[in-house]
Amino acid sequence: MFKLTKRVSVLIVMTAAIASSATIVACKQLGSLGDALAPFTPKLRFKEMSLKSLSFSAIDVDFLFALDNPNPVSVKLASFGYALGLQGVEILKGTQNDGLKLEARGESELAIPLSLTYARIFELVAASKGKDNLDYSIGGQLGFNTPVGVAHVPFQHRGAFPVLHAPDFSIKGISLGDFSPLQGKARLDLKLGVANPSGGSAVGFQNLRYNISLMGSPIVESVLAAVPDVASGASSEVVIPIVVNLLTAGATIADSITNKKPLDLGFQGIVDVRTPFGVIPFDIKEVGNFLLK
């Protein structure tokens, strides 16, 4: 599927790292009609890859092309075929024969939308591991109705496609940090593991908003401003202190210590992840049974 618009406002433009690396082949190989069609053939050029949405699970972009019609009347787009490849692997292929019209003596915009999950990309493209960008190529052929016949114009563009590798969070354990029965409270230290198992660049984190439950009941809700950066292929741990009211949870903690009973812990939160493509929120949800050490 593709869409045609008139000079729409630019969406979120990708950074210079994914800028154009090739030009469009246009007005060549017009078939048996030869040079006679050249003055009437619309000119095609790649404009940009416009990011509509990006998360750690999926990406939604438009590949935008500019079509300039030199004719004093509107020109009908008779056919359009295209294919998209990542690292040499064909991901998307399509054709359209809707006969959309180009504005007379003006520029129209052709958008090829692409929505993909990263799980699908990783499944199809083995070379995606450890890379922040994948080489892409998009090309095909457009057919234009002109006053003297149909002109077929091939096009080809190459660039770089952004890839996000999700970090990994896990509860590593919980320990008793401080026990103050006279003050009616105890401090538990939860160890949260943070890993970047398959990412290209190091990832940084900020503003971890979280809530923790103990034996199914919420016990704390807070924000951790700083979480250490994690290099590609590396991991680290963050200790999160939990102050527990002994009036409500003292018996559970004492039972866990005395009888070696595991505690049911739940950790849920959202953290802002700094990536090469901006700050992107990441959801965390971890549950498990842990012995109090």
Q: Are residues 146 and 195 in the same domain?
A: no
Nearest partner of 267 among 226, 229, 227, 222, judged by Cα:
222
Q: Are residues 201 and 71 in the same domain?
A: no
- Name the domain count of the chain: 2
As a whole number of angstroms, the distance between CA 42 and CA 40 comes to 7
Q: Are residues 28 and 133 in the same domain?
A: yes
Q: Are residues 110 and 56 in the same domain?
A: yes
- What sign does the dihedral 194-275-268-115 (CA atoms) show? negative
Q: Are residues 46 and 128 in the same domain?
A: yes
Structural domain boundaries, residue 261: 168-290
Q: Are residues 71 and 158 in the same domain?
A: yes
Q: In terms of pLDDT, which residue wins out, 201 or 64?
A: 64
Q: Are residues 84 and 177 in the same domain?
A: no
Average pLDDT value for the chain: 81
As a whole number, mean pLDDT of residues 267-285 equals 92
As a whole number of angstroms, the distance between CA 7 and CA 1 comes to 19
Which of 128, 162, 196 delimits the end of a domain? 162
Among 82-91, 106-115, 273-282, where is mean pLDDT lowest?
106-115
Q: Are residues 139 and 188 in the same domain?
A: no
pLDDT over 70 percentage in the chain: 84
Q: Are residues 237 and 176 in the same domain?
A: yes
pLDDT over 90 percentage in the chain: 33
Q: Are residues 157 and 172 in the same domain?
A: no
As a whole number of angstroms, the distance between CA 39 and CA 75 comes to 13
How far does Cα 178 stand from its chain's mean position?
42
Which of 113, 132, 162 delimits the end of a domain? 162
Label residue 116 left, alpha or beta by phi (over 0 means left) and psi (-120 to 50 means alpha): beta
Q: What is the pTM of this model?
A: 0.72
Residue 51: Cβ within 10 Å count: 19
What's the CATH code of the domain at 187? Answer: 2.60.40.1820
Q: Are residues 286 and 254 in the same domain?
A: yes
As a whole number, mean pLDDT of residues 93-107 equals 76
Q: What is the pLDDT of residue 234?
A: 92
**Tens digits of residue pLDDT in 20-51:** 333 333 334 444 554 666 676 777 889 999 98
Which of 162, 179, 206 delimits the end of a domain? 162
As a whole number of angstroms, the distance between CA 189 and CA 74 comes to 70
As a whole number, mean pLDDT of residues 50-63 equals 92
As a whole number, mean pLDDT of residues 5-26 equals 32
CA distances from 20 to 121, 124, 159 (A): 21, 24, 5
- Give residue 272's pLDDT band: very low, low, confident or very high (50, 70, 90): very high
Q: Are residues 151 and 23 in the same domain?
A: yes
What's the CATH code of the domain at 142? Answer: 2.60.40.10
